[in-house]
Amino acid sequence: MKKQIAGAALIGATLATTLLSTPAAQAAETGPRIGVLSGDTLSVKEGNLFTSWTTQAHGVVKFEIDGNRIGVLTTGGDVMVKEGDLYTSWTTQTGGVKDFHLAGGRIGVLRNDGSLAVKDGNLWASWTEQTGNVKDFDLTPNRIGVVFTNGEVTVKEGDLYAGWVNQMNGAKDIELAAGRIGVLRDDNSLVVKDGDLWSSWTEQTGNVKDFDLTPNRIGVVLASGEATVKEGDLYAGWVGQLAGAKSVELSGNRLGVVRDNGSFVVKEGDLYASWTEQATGVSAAGLTTPVVVTTDVVTLQDLRNIYGAIGDADTVQQGLESLNAEMVRGGITTAARKAAFLATLRNESGFRYNALEGTGATYQGRGFIQLTSDTNYRGAGSNLGVDLLGNPELARSLQYSAPIARWYWTVARSDSNNAADHYDMGLISRYVGYRASSAEDAERCADFKSALRYFNGGSLPAPDSQITCYRH
């Protein structure tokens, strides 16, 4: 979903910017999407590889698709974003922009003067200034990475006010994906790290002209035009894909390549799957995998299938729509992440958005995640733009309970998704559970494994020995 920048000829296009919009359509779900930029026209399809294209906008020099959002950079330097189905209207974000990215609830813009600003929340949230002298950047729901004009790389993790952690020098491009950071150096060598911001770099390959990352794949286009991809850890072997490639796009089990001749092909499944031709005359492309913004991410029946009877089912059902929307926004959509999140909520609140636990203290446990302490109420309120310190009961309201759970998971405890990716339920329990008993750890881990088996089709995706249950 990165590097969807049109060729230089598009920058000087004389065609007036005309953004297309129609009344919102009926669909509430966001399926897997593919977008292509042909000339200055953006088209997007939703569904399988053989569905039809829907024209989205003209006068476009760059686009991104992320979850249920589509963003464009126009020839006039404006960023526009729509949220929902393919027929919703565009919302202007800001002008004077030369690059932008989308990630979960975040929108980041690199202005013409080299300054970087990011917002987190709905499309009308306020901008937070980040830094200046930026030549490249990327976002995830809990990380921001930049390459300065002097080639220095720095990354922050947590909320928009977190401190920067220097990474390396001599860089020209950065890509982020969950716990991974990929950097393309000035000499065209690629290095990637996986884990926290202080983990070590692993050399990948040289002579790289384009690359992309997901939590379990790395794709590169070499200077020779060969596209090659690895799957698994950072030491996995490369699997050659095709020649004559210009750029590579990765998302989940989808892999796309724009060829030098402007044709765009996509495969779905393993690295040895067959290619399906998508479009010609393409200058840039992007992919997403299935994302749902209704209760189809996790349904009440899913919870019953995993855990049996669900108490206060009417309340649980009432809260699922907002919970699922925030799970999508926080990237909690893989089998492991959903399993870890649900195991946590089962023990914290029984999946009830209005849960209340404590001895009557002002900042006692409330909501899906059981928010406690004035520090957390202040942090969540600041992130969401609401006074939770003065109105603590809002923490268990239908409006704010799910956003708070997402904030806690991706901001306050920003490594939660990465811990889930590595089947480390013990670390997640330490992040969230306040009682450090082995019995509680075992219970949370059993709930994690039950959900993981369910979302993985009936079996664990890794040996039981690779699942960490106890706090460390």
Q: Kindly state whether residues 245 and 332 are assigned to the same domain.
A: no
pLDDT value of position 195: 83
Angle subtended by helix axes 438-455 and 300-307, to nearest 10: 120
Q: Kindly state whether residues 203 and 342 are assigned to the same domain.
A: no
Q: Kindly state whether residues 250 and 323 are assigned to the same domain.
A: no
Q: Picking from 72-76, 167-171, 293-297, which range would have the lowest pLDDT averaged per residue? A: 293-297
Residue 12 pLDDT > 90? no
* pLDDT, tens digit (0-9, with 9 covering 90-100), for 52-70: 999 999 999 999 999 889 9
Is 94 a member of any domain?
yes
Q: Report how many domains make up the chain.
A: 2
Q: Kindly state whether residues 75 and 131 are assigned to the same domain.
A: yes
* Percent helix, percent strand, percent coil in the chain, to nearest 5: 20, 35, 45
Model confidence band, residue 437 (pLDDT cutoffs 50, 70, 90): confident
Q: Picking from 70-84, 87-101, 174-188, 451-465, which range would have the lowest pLDDT averaged per residue? A: 451-465
Average pLDDT over residues 456-471: 87
* pLDDT, tens digit (0-9, with 9 covering 90-100), for 173-224: 999 998 899 999 999 999 999 988 999 999 999 999 999 999 889 999 999 9
**Range of 55's domain?**
8-287
**Residue 445 in tokens:** 């881990």
Q: Kindly state whether residues 228 and 97 are assigned to the same domain.
A: yes
| Residues sharing a CB contact under 8 Å with residue 461, sequence separation 6 or more, in sequence order | 335, 336, 452
Average pLDDT over residues 266-290: 92
pLDDT value of position 433: 67
Q: Kindly state whether residues 282 and 377 are assigned to the same domain.
A: no
Is 3 a member of any domain?
no
Average pLDDT over residues 96-125: 94
Choice between 246 and 358, residue whose per-residue pLDDT is larger: 246
Q: Kindly state whether residues 389 and 272 are assigned to the same domain.
A: no
Single residue among 232, 262, 287 that ends a domain in this structure: 287
Q: Quick one: what percent of the chain has pLDDT higher than 90?
A: 70
pLDDT value of position 434: 63
Choice between 253 and 405, residue whose per-residue pLDDT is larger: 405
What is the per-residue DSSP string for 403-453?
Answer: HHHHHIIIIITTTHHHHHHTTBHHHHHHHH-S---HHHHHHHHHHHHHHHH
Q: Kindly state whether residues 416 and 460 are assigned to the same domain.
A: yes
Q: Kindly state whether residues 147 and 264 are assigned to the same domain.
A: yes
Is 293 a member of any domain?
no
Choice between 465 and 222, residue whose per-residue pLDDT is larger: 222
| Residues sharing a CB contact under 8 Å with residue 67, sequence separation 6 or more, in sequence order | 30, 102, 104, 288, 291, 293, 328, 329
Is 27 a member of any domain?
yes
* pLDDT, tens digit (0-9, with 9 covering 90-100), for 380-415: 998 888 999 999 999 999 999 999 999 999 988 888
CA–CA gap between residue 226 and residue 220 (Å, rounded): 8
Q: Kindly state whether residues 103 and 37 are assigned to the same domain.
A: yes
CA–CA gap between residue 420 and residue 414 (Å, rounded): 11
Q: Kindly state whether residues 255 and 399 are assigned to the same domain.
A: no
Model confidence band, residue 373 (pLDDT cutoffs 50, 70, 90): very high
Average pLDDT over residues 266-288: 95
Model confidence band, residue 167 (pLDDT cutoffs 50, 70, 90): very high
CATH number at residue 434: 1.10.530.10
pLDDT value of position 435: 64
What does the mean pLDDT of the chain come to? 89
Residue 313 pLDDT > 50? yes
Q: Kindly state whether residues 320 and 258 are assigned to the same domain.
A: no
pLDDT value of position 415: 82
Is 150 a member of any domain?
yes
**Residue 386 in tokens:** 């609401």
CATH number at residue 239: 2.130.10.30
Report pTM.
0.64
Whole-Å CA distances, 275 to 267, 268, 269, 452: 5, 8, 10, 30
pLDDT value of position 2: 39
Whole-Å CA distances, 461 to 113, 233, 299, 307, 358: 47, 15, 22, 19, 37
pLDDT value of position 215: 85
